[in-house]
């Protein structure tokens, strides 16, 4: 089967590393080519070599770049992934933030690698459940991602049955609407939660983020593992400047070492960091 020319694969890998921060070693070439074939077919181009020529030699890179990102970035996500974080959110992080004068303020949470929205809607389920249980809790959630394709899925809030299997039954009954036709085997997040969550495009490699600087909690989980150590540190340093003093940054269980030593962050548990109250940013 025809493949990308070596120079075109090298250009894709270098471009993704430079602009998105994700490393694509030669061992992932087959995966990349498999995903690019979907785009190739959408354009009715006959081979990957022709697609490479279309993009890199015939002047179509600017219009294809967003599609290349959508094709090659990994968008693994699940509802209630690493569930201990959501227990910690409910039992520790939110109660600490709701003490004193801040108790009446709107809680702002940012899902910084939102993918198709499962994490953001999981956060909304947990927070809405707290509010239903009697907590005086107002909240808003922002989900961002570098892939425009997954953000469209997130905004729709419609998921296949197999994806929704991870939602606990009591949350499923309360926060997911079943399709009218059972044959469709999909569910949609209820309007009450969709109204609390908004999604926007954002590249964590950007030097600045168009996001509020008084965020209470940032979830940035299972994306840092795709970055080298210098990029991890740079991303976490930028994220920290968007936390209010005393706000929390949550990383994935395999990323706990990435936050160590980042200016302005203090580790409070294995995967949770707090912005120190004397930090400037």
Catalytic residues: 35, 145
* Nearest-angstrom CA–CA distance, 254 and 82: 11
Which residue is listed with tokens 């580790």? 267
* DSSP H or E run through 16: helix 6-20
Distance CA 15, CA 82 (A): 31
- Dmax (CA) of the chain: 65
Q: How many CB atoms lie within 10 A of CB 278?
A: 7
- As to burial, measured by CB atoms within 10 angstroms (0-12 exposed, 13-18 middle, 19+ buried), residue 261 is exposed
Residue 141 vs residues 75, 79, 110: alpha-carbon distances, Å: 19, 15, 6
Strand partners for 267: 273
Taking each helix axis from N to C terminus, what angle separates 6-20 and 48-56, rounded to the nearest 10 degrees?
A: 60
- Mention every residue, 6+ apart, whose C-beta is less than 8 A from residue 24: 12, 13, 16, 17, 32, 72
Burial of 59 (C-beta count, 10 Å sphere; 0-12/13-18/19+): exposed
């Amino acid at each position: 089967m025809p493949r990308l020319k070596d120079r075109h694969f090298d250009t894709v890998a270098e471009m993704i590393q430079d602009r998105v921060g994700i490393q694509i070693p030669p061992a992932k070439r087959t995966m990349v080519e498999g995903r690019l074939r979907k785009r190739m077919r959408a354009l009715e181009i006959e081979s990957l070599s022709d697609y490479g020529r279309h993009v890199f030699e015939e002047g179509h890179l600017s219009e294809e770049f967003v599609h290349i990102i959508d094709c090659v970035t990994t968008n693994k996500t699940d509802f209630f992934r690493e569930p201990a974080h959501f227990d910690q959110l409910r039992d520790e992080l939110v109660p600490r933030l709701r003490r004193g004068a801040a108790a009446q303020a709107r809680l702002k949470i940012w899902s910084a690698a939102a993918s198709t929205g499962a994490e953001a809607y999981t956060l909304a389920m947990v927070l809405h459940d707290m509010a239903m249980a009697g907590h005086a809790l107002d909240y808003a959630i922002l989900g961002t991602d570098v892939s425009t394709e997954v953000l469209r899925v997130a905004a729709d809030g419609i998921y296949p049955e197999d994806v929704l299997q991870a939602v606990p039954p009591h949350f499923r009954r309360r926060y997911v609407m079943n399709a009218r036709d059972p044959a469709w085997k999909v569910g949609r997040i209820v309007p009450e939660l969709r109204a609390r969550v908004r999604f926007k495009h954002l590249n964590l490699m950007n030097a600045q983020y168009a996001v509020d600087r008084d965020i209470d909690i940032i979830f940035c989980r299972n994306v840092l593992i795709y970055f080298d150590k210098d990029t991890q540190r740079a991303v976490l340093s930028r994220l920290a400047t968007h936390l209010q003093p005393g706000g929390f940054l949550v990383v994935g269980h395999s990323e706990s070492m990435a936050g160590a030593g980042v200016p302005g962050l203090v580790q409070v548990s294995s995967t949770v960091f707090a912005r120190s109250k004397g930090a400037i940013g």
